[in-house]
Amino acid sequence: MSLNAESTAFRSALEVIRAVEPRVADAIGAELADQRESLKLIASENYASPATLLAMGNWFSDKYAEGTVGRRFYAGCQNVDTVEALAAEHARELFGAAHAYVQPHSGIDANLVAFWAILADRVESPALKKAQVRQVNDLTEADWFALRRELGNQRMLGMSLDAGGHLTHGFRPNISGKMFDQRSYGTDPATGLIDYDKVAEAAREFKPLILVAGYSAYPRKVNFRIMREIAESVGATFMVDMAHFAGLVAGKVFTGDFDPVPHAHIVTTTTHKSLRGPRGGMVLCGPELADQVDRGCPMVLGGPLPHVMAAKAVALAEARRPDFADYAQRIVDNAQALAEGLLRRGTKLVTGGTDNHLVLLDISGYGLTGRQAEQALLDSGIVTNRNAVPQDPNGAWYTSGIRIGTPALTTRGLGTAEMDQTAELIHTVLSQTSPRSNADGTPSKAKYVLDAALADKVSKQASDLLTGFPLYPAVDLA
C-alpha cells in the first residue's frame, strides 16, 4: 500500500535523523505518541499543521539574513525576502494591520522590539534633541549614555501577575522589569474582572509611558477601546500583547471593541498558541512606529530565522482560510462548555466562567495546591499547568489554580460533548487527590496522595475519549 505525502515526509525525515543520532529520532517519535495519547489542555499549546512543521525543516535554516526585505546585510537572501514578505503580507491582511514585522523568535522578543521601538520614538532627552537623531542605529555612545539615564525613569502600567498578566509586562524577574518603573492594575476582588475605572485612576496617578493590555490567564474579553481612551488621557502609548488570543482575533471571534488591532498603537503576539503556527513572535503597528519596529534586528534580536518565517507564512495563509473562523469559534464554544461542566460539578472558576479560550480553576476548594493538582492530573493523562489566582495565598510557585485551555483539543476535533466528559475526568482526579503530610506532620504543598488504580482508570478513559479524534491522522510512522 502506498503511503500518503505526510507519512512519507515524516518517515523519511526520521530515517535520515536516525542514521546520525537514533536517540533524537526516538524522542521525536515518542513525543508524537505521547501527544496522541494525552488530553492536552495547556492553554498556550496547540498542534501545528504538517505543512507548517515541514516548512521549518529545510535549507532556509542555513541562511543569515540580518536586515529587512530588500535591505539585507548579507548577499543571497532573495528567497528569504520572498518568504518574509509573504508572512508579513498574510499578517497584514489577516489582522487588518498597516505594518507587520515577522522576525521575532518568541513572544518576549516581540515585546522587546515593541518596548524599544516605543522608547526610541518617544525619548526626549536633551542629548538626543541636540543631536536630532531618532533612529536607534544612528545613536552615538554619548547618545546611548543619555538614553540609559533617561530609561531609569520610564514607566509601564500592566496587568498584575496574579490577575492574569504576564512576566514580560514589567515584572522584576524579566528584563522589562529592569527597563521600566512598573506598576500593576488588578481585577475586582469580588468578580475577578478588570475595573476600567480603577485602571484609569492608576494611569492618572502613575502617568505611564506605556499602558499594556493583554494576558496569559484572564478568562474574559478586554475592551480595547476603553483602554485606548485611558492611554490617550495620560499621553501613554497603548500596547496590546495578544499572544494568547491572536487566533480569536484572526478568526473574527473578537471584533469591534474587543479587537486590539484598530485600537492599539502597537500589538505583539506569538504565532503558536491559538493561532496554530510555529513557535515564534510578531509585531503589528501603524506607519508611525514601522521604521523603529523594523530595526528589531539588530536592536534586540539576533539573526532572523528564515525557516521559521517560512512556517509563519504557511500558518498565516492557513488562518486566512474560511474554516479557520469556524475553528476559532469552536475554541470558545468548547471553553465555555468545559467551564459549565466544571461549574456543575462544584469547581470554583475565576470570574465564574470564560469568554475566550481558557478557564482558570481556583482549586482551593479541593484542598490542594496548583502544584499538587497539576501533577495528579498528569499522572491521569491530563496535561495542564498550575497558575496563580487573584490574591493567591500560595504564591506563584505552588499556586492555588490550574489553567486549562481548548485550542489543542479543538484542533483534534473534540466538541462540547467531549468537554463535559473532560470536566468529569478533571473533577474525578481533583476530588480524589489529597495532600500528603511532611515529616513534621504539616500538610505538604507539593506531595499528594492519589490512588494509582484511579489514575490508571482516568488515563484510560482519557485515551478512550481521544480514540475518535486521532492526532495527525495522515501521519503514519509505523
Cell of 290: 514601522
Q: Give the DSSP H/E element, type plus range, for residue 338.
A: helix 322-344
Instruction: Tell me the three state secondary structure of residue 446.
Output: strand
Residue with cell 496574579: 162
Determine how β-strand 155-159 pairs with β-strand 71-72: unpaired
Distance CA 94, CA 80 (A): 21
Cα gap 42→214, rounded to integer Å:
18
440 CB neighbour count, 10 Å cutoff: 5
Helices (H), 38-170: 50-55, 78-95, 107-122, 126-131, 141-151
In whole angstroms, what is the distance from residue 233 CA to residue 314 CA?
40
Q: By CB neighbour count within 10 A (0-12 exposed, 13-18 middle, 19+ buried), where does 130 fall? A: exposed
Separation between Cα atoms, residue 43 and residue 244, nearest integer Å: 8
Chain CA centroid to CA 392, Å: 22
Cell 539576533 sits on residue: 302
Sorted by sequence, the CB contacts under 8 Å of residue 188 that are 6+ apart come out as: 194, 195, 198
> Which residues are the active-site residues?
64, 66, 241, 270, 273, 279
Contact residues for 204 (Cβ-Cβ < 8 A; gap 6+): 233, 234
CA distance 245 to 328: 10
**Residue 237: helix, strand or coil by DSSP?**
strand
Return d(Cα 236, Cα 258) in angstroms, integer.
Answer: 20
Q: How far apart are CA 272 and CA 301, in angstroms?
A: 19
Q: What is the rounded distance in angstroms from the CA atom of residue 166 to the CA atom of residue 171?
A: 8
Cell 518565517 -> residue: 309
Overall residue count recorded for the chain in this entry: 478
